Structure formats: C-alpha cells, structure tokens
Amino acid sequence: MGVPETVRFEARLIDSLTVEVEAAGMTPVPNGHSTGWRVLPALLVAQGRNCRIRVDVERAARVQTCETRPGGALLIAPGMRHRAEVFESQGGASWWSHLNVRVLGSVSLLDFYDVPALASRASSPELGDANARLSQLLGDGGALTARIEIQEIGLRLLRLVLSQATLRPSYQAFEEGAARLAPVLAFIQQHVQEPLTRDDLAERAHMSPSRFHVAFRRVMGVPPLQYVARIRLRRAQQMLVTTDHTVAEVGEACGYPDAFHFSRLFKREIGIGPLAYRKQGLAWFSGSRPAARRNG
C-alpha cells in the first residue's frame, strides 16, 4: 500500500521549510521613541528591556493597540502595517531579530497564520535571550558551528511563534492545491527579475490561463501577478537593507527596470520611498548602535 499523496506533500512542505535569520541586534530605545508606520518584509521578534512598548497594528482596515509589560516581547508578522512607541524607558533596549520563513522556495509560511502582536508572558524571556545570542553569533563571522547554532535558534524562535499563532482557514486550500503549483512557485522565485505573464505561468502549470488564474487564487489567496508583485517587493525590501546596490539596481533585480516606476510602486505599497526605507536601515527600532546582519 503506497503513501497517500497528501502525506507525501506534507512531508515535502516540511522538507522545504527554511528559516533564515537575516538580522539581529540590540538597539537603545529612549523614552518617547516611535518607529512611525511601516511594513517589514519578514517576521520581527523584539523584546523590550527596562521599558514598555505600545504598538498599533492595522488589521482589516482597523487599528488595534496593545502594550507590552516590562520585559515583554512583540511579534510582528511579515507585511503587517504597524508602528511602535517606547514609554516608561529607563535605559531601555530592544533585543530583536528579523526572520524569513518560507516553504516551497518562495511561499511565506506566516502568510497562513494570524500572529499575535504581543508574545506570551512565559515566552518573552526566551525570545529575548534567543535574540541576544543571535546578535552575538551574527557578529562572529561565518564559522560552520555558528551557522548551525543560528539555524537551531531560528527554528526555536519559529516554534515559539507558531505555538502562539492561529492557523488560517486558507491554509487548507494551500495544502490541497500547492503540490500542482509548486513548479510555478519555484519558477517565480528563480525568475522574479524577468518579465512574467499569466500565460507564461499557466503554461508552466499545464493549464489554460483562465483555469490557472482561478486555481492560483484559490490556493494562494491572490491572483498570480499580484503574488509576483508581492514577492518582488519583499525581495526589494530585503535588498535595500542588506546590500549596497542603488535603488535603480534593486528595482532592476526585482523585475522593475524603470527606476521611477519602481520607486512610485514601492512608496504606494510600503508607505515610504526606497531611499527612506533604506535609511531606516536594519535597526528596526531605530537607534545609534549598528545591527548585526547576515548577507546572502
């Protein structure tokens, strides 16, 4: 008796899981500091020490406000519009990390979860300690043992986050239909800088364009070209803060050869222009101390 296709695909999803710790660091956060409204391309895990943080999160066009306890931690999902303000800070600092969590090469796993803005009280110290260790490891260079420990900590952070998150109903449609779309998703990831049309992608999936459009939207929750645009913008966000490429070079590498069009689109979707976004840098809670970063 063979292994059911659904079981084989679940195993494939697990095997394709990647957790990339892109950055981590410690940033001093004075009383009254505000991040302003922003959208980040990856998961932000941040623990405030000797301070409290008020965070506004926009969900379904409504703003929800919550506050951390002393030593509490924030969990901000990729693509979540939010702003954070520090108060009651006495030499406060934020230990933070920035994680990309993907399956099948390009799919953000956390797009299928509702992640709470506030981490549980029990998990906050562990999240902060993990971030502190990541900051140290990322600053130590590329030793193999350090890279292995970074992966271990990244997976531990993901486990802690998912234990507090709620799986969305859309995940069932993804799990049922993504096997057929997997080659298309991989192709998008590998060729995102090239012109991509719905007809080209449909041919990869061996479907008619209209049938492919319906199937893709049912599985991924958005039309094919909207998904491509999402992948391009997230890659652009990452490149702006992890490379020294010009805005025009970033745009071209992400499929937007017209620098003016890229800048206008970026500002419309992210809320600020590429140069302003780069200026924010990797210090997600802003501050004078540079953050550790991992390129590649």
First to last CA, the chain: 43
Give me the residue spans of the domains in the chain: 17-167, 170-280
Element (H, E) at 120: none
Nearest by Cα to 86 from 32, 45, 25: 32
Question: Among all chains, which residue has been given the structure tokens 């200026």?
Answer: 279
Tens-binned pLDDT, residue by residue, of the chain (296 aa): 454 545 555 667 788 899 999 889 898 989 998 888 888 888 999 999 999 999 999 988 899 999 999 899 999 999 899 999 999 999 999 999 999 999 887 889 999 999 999 999 999 999 999 999 999 998 776 688 899 999 999 999 999 999 999 999 988 888 888 888 888 998 998 899 999 999 999 999 999 999 999 999 999 989 999 999 999 999 999 899 888 899 999 999 999 999 999 999 999 888 889 998 888 764 444 443 334 444 33
| Cα gap 181→55, rounded to integer Å | 37
Q: What is the CATH number of domain 17-167?
A: 2.60.120.10
| Cα gap 271→191, rounded to integer Å | 26
Global pTM value: 0.82
Amino acid at 25: G
Written out in words, the top-level CATH class of the domain with range 170-280 is: mainly alpha
